[in-house]
Structure 1
């Protein structure tokens, strides 16, 4: 997991998650922020619900936006006795998270540079000064467009063929979608950890209560 901050000065925060083995993108979301723990946690829970389980291990940086996800991961990995077997959270510098860092480079070349240059042009001519109103206008006009483009880039990425690296470090190569969903074809193992859906229901219910409380205020 990681956040992409190149567009955050303009009010667009992107957060993503990529599978370390297959390089399949699990989620890639553009939003008003990528720094609120509850926002990133919602992405994680949605992915767990859709996949029917949580990862054996998640890797993230030390940013505060990941604290809820880390706690949820421990909670979902507990057995009936409340014990977590083996490591389930790895944290370190963002630059060391090579899989998603490489993907950010791909996204920058495909789309992000265009948007960053456009918003910087707005700034250079005095049409954007960084206040909440200007960020709100950027979000209103461009957030949905950026998300649709992200979805397209993700689809193309997940279905393209990864070729062997020139260094030979990538021992497994193929289409991320297939490598993720059918790892047996690549002599690999599926490390999706089944979750106790009663625990997941508890989390989802708390999330619904929190959203309801925010709407009432």
Structure 2
């Protein structure tokens, strides 16, 4: 219902998308109220996750696709996109699934300064009563 982001350059687009998608809703957080900016000190957990994700999983793919582009193997055409998708989709999906599995099974320490509980993400999601 509500998206909170820091003022990073990529987040202006996220704010616009969120507000657009929630424009026709009738609840308290509809339209412009569906997004708010906040300091990144309150986003430490998600910033940590993005750092781990980038370093451990997607940096390799970003560099590979940049190298393919720079070598002239990928020009952005529909044919090139289909070829890359055909060649890499299964491998990328396996990497993403492994990243999700590892993240959702690790233990998060409770925060003394935030109102977030600690625990294992999958347990926090599927067994909130615990």
Name stretches of at least 5 consecutive residues in structure 1 with no aligned partner: 1-54, 79-83, 186-217
In 2, Cα distance between equivalents of 1:85 and 1:114: 42
Of the candidates 105, 122, 131, which is equivalent to residue 68 of structure 2? 122
1:103 is aligned to 2:55: no
Cα-Cα RMSD: 3.2
Q: Which one has a larger percent helix, Structure 1 or Structure 2?
A: 2
| Alignment correspondent of 1:203 | none
Offset of 1:134 from its aligned partner? 2.3
TM-score by length of 2: 0.64
Q: Deviations over 1:166-193 (max 9, x none)?
A: xx435521101122233333xxxxxxxx
Deviation at 1:154, TM superposition (A): 1.1
User: Are 2:118 and 1:173 aligned?
Assistant: yes
Q: List structure 1 segments (4+ residues) > 6 angstroms apart after TM superposition.
A: none
* Match in the other structure for 1:145: 91
In 2, distance between residues paired with 1:120 and 1:131? 15
Match of 2:129, SS state, is helix
> Does the C-alpha gap of structure 1 residues 169 and 92 become closer, same or farther in structure 2, counting only changes over 3 Å?
same
TM-superposed deviation, 1:144? 3.5
Note the alpha carbon deviations across 1:1-51, whole angstroms, 9 max, x for none. xxxxxxxxxxxxxxxxxxxxxxxxxxxxxxxxxxxxxxxxxxxxxxxxxxx
Q: Deviations over 1:52-86 (max 9, x none)?
A: xxx5x444644244355324xx63xx5xxxxx256
Q: Whose RCO is larger (CA < 8 A, sep 6+)? A: 1
| Pair 1:142–1:65, CA change in 2 (3 A) | farther
Matched residues, number: 118
2:18 maps to 66
1:89 equivalent to 2:40? Answer no
Structure 2 segments unaligned to the other structure (5+ residues): 6-10
The normalised TM-score by structure 1 is 0.43
CA contact (8 A) 2:103 2:121 kept: yes
Q: Is the Cα contact below 8 Å between 2:108 and 2:119 reproduced in 1?
A: yes
Hey, which of these two has a bigger chunk of strand by percent? 1
- 1:136-175 CA-partner distances (Å, limit 9, x unpaired): 322222234322321221122111111246xx43552110
